[in-house]
A and B are shown apart, each in its own frame.
Chain A
Amino acid sequence: TQLLEQSPQFLSIQEGENLTVYCNSSSVFSSLQWYRQEPGEGPVLLVTVVTGGEVKKLKRLTFQFGDARKDSSLHITAAQPGDTGLYLCAGAPDAGGTSYGKLTFGQGTILTVHP
């Protein structure tokens, strides 16, 4: 069974601060995806990282995939109140067999950015 440990579970910061959310596992993933979920809605994909060591930037968000494809981080620079929400990481298993369609999600990080 693959597990993804996401931390921290809660993060409350002031507008303008920087933050980092981590996802760690002992398992190797073929890709790691980050989602953001608003209350009452489904997760919305932010980014997918596929290659070990890969770094992707999405405006003030920077996503990194670990070299061994077991961990990932999301860094937000100069957080804004509009960044408030639930952030989820999800790992896709190594391709092969039928399990490639099955995502393993972290527990989520509830981010609150105060004006």
Chain B
Amino acid sequence: EDQVTQSPEALRLQEGESSSLNCSYTVSGLRGLFWYRQDPGKGPEFLFTLYSAGEEKEKERLKATLTKKESFLHITAPKPEDSATYLCAVQGGSGGYQKVTFGTGTKLQVIP
């Protein structure tokens, strides 16, 4: 069974204080690893897809990296508007059914 573990559960940063969120995973045949941002009371917002170890993607202050066992979401010089819960998910399996498994998320709070 595919598993996704995110750490830490919660993270509090001062504005401008860079840090990283971790997503450890076990999956049978990785088809893709996804990062989402979720604001309270809203649906997840897509950020990145990573497909293979060594791949990196960037968007503004966010950078996602991938190894064979984990992914990191690096946040550089965060701002208060980056406060949200960040979800990691993996898609595994072969054939026609490729289920996506989500982690429980890291709740990020950026303090001005």
Partners in one complex: no
